[in-house]
Each structure stands twice: as C-alpha cells, then as structure tokens.
Amino acid sequence: MSKILVVDDEVQIRTLLSRMLELEGYEVCQAGDCRTALKQLEFQSPDVVLCDVFLPDGNGVDLVSSVKKTAPNVEIILLTAHGNIPDGVQAIKNGAFDYITKGDDNNKIIPLVSRAVEKARMNVRLEKLEKKVGHTYSFDSVLGDSKALKDAVSLAQKVSGTDVPVLLTGETGTGKEVFAQAIHYNSKRAKQNFVAVNCSSFSKELLESEMFGHKAGSFTGALKDKKGLFEEADNGTIFLDEIGEMAFELQAKLLRILETGEYIKIGDTKPTRVNVRVVAATNRNLPEEITAGRFREDLFYRLSVFQIHLPPLRERPGDVRILAKAFVKDFSVRLARPVTEITPAFLEALEQQPWKGNIRELRNVIERSLIVCESERLDVADLPLDIQNTHYEQSDETTPGSFELSAMERRHIARVLEYTKGNKTEAARLLKIGLTTLYRKIEEYGI
C-alpha cells in the first residue's frame, strides 16, 4: 500500500485531504508544519508528500529541496491558495512533481497523486537497477587474488576517474570488455551510454558506416540518415574491441576524433562533434603491426596514453579455483542444477590446463560440466575428455601405479573415447570389446 504524507497547518483541510486519499486506498500520515513533516519523512517513509505552500515555520517551496535531499525518491505535490508563476517555477526547479491551486484544481488531486505514486515507485526501481548495474560492473566483479591481476585492477581504478584514452592488451578471453565496463561505470560518465563494437566483425565499408554514420543517399541502400556508434556514445564511452583489426584507412578518421572530437559522416560535408571517451583493446602486438605497416604509429601513441596489460589465466596462480567456484555458483542457478560439492580432483584438473582461451574458455567448460553432471557433486568425470586425460596422465606420472596395466588401460580407453567424440558404441568397436564391458570400465576408471 502506498503511503501519502499530507502537510497543511489547517486541520480541517488536512483531515479532508487525508479522508479523500484513504478512501482511494492510500495509507495517510499528517503534519502541520515543516519540522513535523521532516520527522514524519524519516519515520514513515511516504511515497508522496502533498504539501501546502504557506506553513507556520517555513515555505513549502523551500521544503521541497529539504525533502529531496533527505529522500530523493519521494515525489512532492505543492498546494497553494494563491498560486503565482514565480513560486510555481521555483517549486519545479527544486524538484516538485507539480504545483496546483486549492479549490480550482481539487478534482485533479487524486489523479495527480496516482501519477506521483507511480513516479515514486519508478524512482525506487531505477535506484535498485543502478545499484545492481554498479555492482555488476564494479571492480569488485573482477575476480582473482593474483598480484598480476591486482596490479591491472589498480591501474584501471586510477584511470577511471579521468577522460584519457585507455588501451587494454592481452590474450583472447582475458576479460578486456569487463575491464572496459568497469572503467566506464566507475567514471563520471557512468550515467551515459557505454557502446561496444568489435572491429573484426565488420568489413571496412560497414564498420565505417556503423561507427561514424551516414547521410541519406550517400550510397546504394542509404535511404535515410543514420547515427553512428560514436554519436550514440556522445558524453559516454565507446569500447573498440580488436582495434588491431581496423582497416588502415579508418584509423585516420579515428585519430581525428581523438585529437579534435570531430569526424565527417559518410556523404556529409559538415563535421559532427562528439565528446566520447575511447577505451580500445587488442590481442595483437601493435608495435609489430606498426612495423608491418598495418597500424598507424600516431594512432597507437594516441590510444596508448594509458596502457593496461591483462595477464593470461596461466600467469594467475590460484585464480582458476576462485573463478571456477564463482562460475559454478552462477550456472547452478541459471541452469537449475544445484551443486553442493566440488571435488578437489575437479579443481586440480582445471588448474592443470593451459587455458589458451583464458577466462572465456574456463567459463564454457564449467557451463558444460554442469549440463552433463547427473548429481549434486562435480567431479573429474563431468569435465571434457581432453581435460580428464591431461589430469589422469599428470596424476599417473607422479604415482607408482602409473606402471600398472589398469592405468595404461584407462588412459587408452579415454583416448579412444576422445577420438570418437564420446561415441561409446564406436569406441567399443575400435577397442574390440562389448559395449557393456566398456560401460563397466568407464565406471570403474571414473572416465
């Protein structure tokens, strides 16, 4: 039930308004002056304040500012017996929802309160969403305890409060877009757009149109004006992923934006001006690309004002376990597969991998493992066969049992299953054993 605070020094008017609102199903509390209203605001947490302009200890127009400072989500409707334009204008400037005259606008009160309640609810939902987004893209969402990762996070935190371009380098799957989002959402541009574009996903012509936009008639199929991604990101941040894949001809246009904040759309004659923070990322060695004549040296120096290298997963000891546990928790909810136990062998097998695809590859493996898992216990048998084989081979090399025939048999069966991509019927045929025998050995060896 929505709650309304009625503030008026005249008891009869206050009681009448309260009764009207109660009949509409609202919970109502009352106050006769500014001081009492602020106390009620603290203890009652109303959604809407219906307030007289002239009060014994103050002015309702000024009270709007005080209410908004204390409870920014609350909406205030001001009532006055003698309305005037300057007060109305100031009230709206101070944050009032509306300003109406008593008597003349009595029939408007209930519909107005209803709209104000909806706005107050929307304010609360928006605040929760902003908090959720802020947490999702905060630096706390970057998981890991390794020194290499913490050094990268520290640099990103320092640069996020500035407007300088940032160049993120590192292998595929190291989390460059996560860092770009964290930099944006921890900057003064956080409430503006974050626009991401993968420069390797488009041809030169299409990328130019997507990034910079075009005028109607500038080429076949250009039926109307189109805003580019830079224009969409105005006052916000644009993330240029795989910047090393950008066509050489477009690099000059990007350099001009970085230097002047201006560019010319396809088919236009006048420059378009934008205020955009650029965060770029690449898994290529840009100095080598410069030497090969595929990347502009002046653009590299302009982009790399602040460079952050994201370490590969194999250089982050201990972080595989942290990430794996976080992914298991996430996917167990998404896939409705509750997991109560993760065996040490499962985590050990993950740590033995080189993770050439880094965090993205690890995440995919965890998702697959939960899909195939048939219990609430994640074990090595739930991992892809190649990871199982690596784990058993490395484990066997350090144990006396590695010379036993059973150990050799288990490795051989695992290799054949990997060759047949898990097709047990085909594996049994190649091994020249019965399918029932193969199932028994798979269960016996935990393959």
If you search the block for the tokens 């396809």, which residue do you land on? 266
From the candidate CATH numbers 3.40.50.300, 1.10.620.20, 3.30.360.10, 3.30.365.10, the one assigned to the domain spanning 139-311: 3.40.50.300
CA distance 368 to 384: 8
Q: Which residues are CB-contacts of 50 (< 8 A; sequence separation ≥ 6)?
A: 4, 5, 6, 7, 17, 21, 77, 79, 109, 113
DSSP for 90-121, written as a single string: HHHHHT-SEEEETTTTGGGHHHHHHHHHHHHH
421: left (phi over 0), alpha (psi -120 to 50) or beta: left
Does residue 370 surpass a pLDDT of 90? yes
**CATH 3.40.50.2300, applies to 3-132:** yes
Q: What is the CA radius of gyration of the chain?
A: 32
The domain spans of the chain are: 3-132, 139-311, 315-445
d(CA 260, CA 275) in angstroms, rounded, equals 10
Is the CB of residue 294 less than 8 Å from the CB of residue 247? no
Q: What is the pLDDT of residues 318-351, one digit of tens each?
A: 899 999 999 999 999 999 988 989 998 899 999 9
Helix (H) or strand (E) holding 77: strand 75-80
pLDDT (tens digit per residue) in 173-223: 999 999 999 999 999 999 899 999 999 988 888 899 999 988 887 787 777
pLDDT digits (tens, 9 = 90+) for 147-170: 999 999 999 999 999 999 999 999
Token duo for residue 394? 């490395």
Asked whether the beta carbons of 273 and 261 are under 8 A apart, the reply is yes
Q: What does the pLDDT look like over 373-386, one tens digit per residue?
A: 888 989 888 898 88
- Is the pLDDT score of 272 beyond 60? yes
Contact 174, 311 (CB under 8 A): yes
Residue (of 246, 284, 280) closest to 170 by Cα position? 284
Written as six digits, the tokens of 340 are: 């109560």
Q: Say whether pLDDT at 284 is over 90.
A: yes
Is the pTM higher than 0.75? The answer reads no
Same fold for the pair 139-311 and 315-445? no
| Helices assigned H by DSSP within 137-175 | 147-160
Cα–Cα distance measured from residue 312 to residue 355, given in angstroms and rounded to the nearest whole number: 8
Per-residue pLDDT band at 236 (split at 50, 70, 90): very high
**b/e map 399-427, b = 16+ CB within 10 Å:** eeeeeeeebeebbebbebbbebeeeeeeb
Q: Are 191 and 173 in contact (CB under 8 A)?
A: no
* Terminal-residue alpha carbon distance, the chain: 58
Please name the amino acid found at residue 51.
C
CATH, range 315-445: 1.10.8.60
